[in-house]
Every structure is written in C-alpha cells, then in structure tokens.
Amino acid sequence: MNDTFSRWRAGLAKSSKSAFGRVASILGATEINEDTWEDLEAMLIQADLGVDTALDIIENLREYVRENGLLRSDELKGALRAELRSRLGDGQGEPLPNENPSVILLVGVNGSGKTTSAAKLGARYQKMGKKILFGAADTFRAAAVEQLQVWGDRLAIDVVAGAPESDPGAVAYNTVQAGIARGADVIFIDTAGRLHTRFNLMEELKKVERVVGKAHPGSPHAVWLVMDTTTGQNALQQARAFKDAVGVTGIILTKLDSSARGGMVFAIRKELGLPILFAGLGEKVEDLTLFDPDAFIDGILAAF
C-alpha cells in the first residue's frame, strides 16, 4: 500500500465511518428498490455533497441501472465510485508558483487552519531545500503572532512581525522586502480571519494584497484559501466572499481527519470552480498532503 494512500485512509477513517461508511450497508447484496435510492440520497446529502450533486448522482445511477438491467444493489458500487471520481477532475500536482521569491497569501475565516497550514507548508518546502520566510500579518491578536513564532522557532524559519495592532499591510510589505533582502525562496503571509474592527476583513485583505504587489511587483503569486471541512456547506458562502475580494488561486482543505462529511470536496469543486491543492489531515506539521483525488475516493470509500 503506498504511503499517501495509507495516510489518507487513516486520516479519512472518520469520514468513512460516519457518512460514506454507510454505503457498505446501503449497497449490500439486496435488491435495488426505492429504499435503496432514498437511503443513498440521504447519505450523500448528509456527507455534505450538496443537494444538487446528490440528486445528479442518483439520477445517473438510476439510468445506469436501467441501461444495464441491474437488479442487485452491490452491483452499483463501481458506478458510484466512478460517479464520485468523475466529479473531482485531475490532481493538480505541485502548486508552488515558479517565481523567486514566491509570495503566497494564506486567507480564510478564523480557526480554519491558516497558521497551522503555514507551518505545514513551510516545513514541506523547507524539506525540498527552499528557504522560507513567514509574515505574521494577523496583527490584532498577540496570540496569533506568538503562534506563528512558535512554529517558526520549531522549524527554524524566520518570522517577520509588527508591533501589536500595527497595520497588517505594513507587516506584509516588510515581510516581502525582508524576503527579497534575505534571499528567501518562498514567503508565506499569514492573515487574520476575524472581523476584529469595524473595518471590513475583506477590505483589509485587499489592502494586504495591494501592498504586497508594491513591495514586489507581480506578487502575490498565489492566494490560497484555507477552508475547514467540518464547517460544511456554510463554508461555501464564506469562500465565495474571499474569492470575490481577493484573487484566490486554490484551496487548502483542512481537518479532513475530523470531518464526518468529506463531501465538501465535491461541493467546492462544483460551486467554486477552484482547484483543491492540499489536504490537512491532522494537527501535526507533517499532516499535509497534496490533494490526490484517487487517494481521497479510496479513503472515503474504504468501507467498500
């Protein structure tokens, strides 16, 4: 068993137990009847695929059953797997922009996993021999800066921070300048997720994006939206707001290990049209993997 697959399987054990795990009992060696379709539909919706996607899958499966004259529900397993897989497109491969330095903004609502993902990404690219710099542009909360600094100390990655309550744009600007001066290969800028003043979070992020472009024309080269899978369909609404405000280029999906509903992955693909780049499968620095659609499907359907 390859390593990525076993990691996904372990990380997704909860998803498969809680939602997709029911597939095994729904698609047992029984006759296909209306109950089969109802149970399957309920399971897909519960797993957070979104109603449209769930209904679409059921319709395609019904047609498949008609065309092939199938009678037993366990004959549907392969078709369901294919239906799910076809909705995820190809894997993205390595998403690091081909720039030096690469400036990457991490955005997302509070608690989604931005700071943890910054640490995981820093560790990942450091392992590949890149020199990393972190910018702590969540300046309102002292704890936010400290949290990134703790990771920086642990990983031996420098952190640029500002005075408490200083302007996030100024910190981002200084980070990029410092990164250029110190010969960093990849600069990750961690941003705030909370609306802490009357000043709109989206306006603040737009400013950070603009200012970064002044410090290094053409940057940021990527804006990665960090999304918590456990927040379900609400997260989609939030994601649209980020997509409209800043030029989000890809998604990092966190907490897939503690989500009972891996179906968010399908909803994101359909609703946002943004590539899913990475999956977070735990709280440790190594719990990040490139999003691999095949490993994901194998993980959630482990009960088959």
Ligand X SMILES: Nc1nc2c(ncn2[C@@H]2O[C@H](COP(=O)(O)OP(=O)(O)OP(=O)(O)O)[C@@H](O)[C@H]2O)c(=O)[nH]1
Continuous segment of H or E residues that includes residue 82 = helix 77-86
Q: Which is nearer to ligand X, 80 or 106 (CB)?
A: 106
Q: Which is nearer to ligand X, 40 or 119 (CB)?
A: 119
When binding is defined by CB under 6 A, the residue of 36, 112, 139, 219 that contacts ligand X is 112
Count of residues that interact with ligand X, criterion CB under 6 A:
22
One character per residue 224-243, x = contact with ligand X (rule: CB under 6 A):
--x-----------------
Report the partner that residue 282 touches, choosing among Mg ion, ligand X, none (CB closer than 5 to 8 A by kind).
Answer: ligand X
List, as own/partner pairs, every contact residues 71-74 make where C-beta atoms lie below 8 angstroms and the sequence separation is at least 24, other chains included.
Answer: 71/31, 71/32, 72/29, 72/30, 72/31, 72/32, 73/26, 73/27, 73/28, 73/29, 73/30, 73/31, 73/32, 73/36, 74/27, 74/28, 74/29, 74/30
- Measured in whole angstroms, the distance separating CA 212 from the mean position of its chain's CA atoms is 23
Binding of residue 168 to ligand X (CB under 6 A): no
Instruction: Tokens for 214, please give them.
Output: 């002044």
Smallest separation (angstroms) from ligand X to the CB of 168:
12
Binding of residue 110 to ligand X (CB under 6 A): yes
Residue nearest to Mg ion (CB): 115
Smallest separation (angstroms) from ligand X to the CB of 100:
26
Which of 250, 137, 117, 124 shows the shortest CA–CA distance to 191?
137
When binding is defined by CB under 5 A, the residue of 115, 117, 249, 254 that contacts Mg ion is 115
| Burial state string for 208-218 with b = 16 or more CB within 10 A and e = fewer than 16 | bbebbeebbee
Stretch that binds Mg ion, among 109-117, 180-188, 200-208, 213-221 (CB under 5 A): 109-117
- Which residues in this chain contact Mg ion in the complex, by CB under 5 A? 114-115, 144
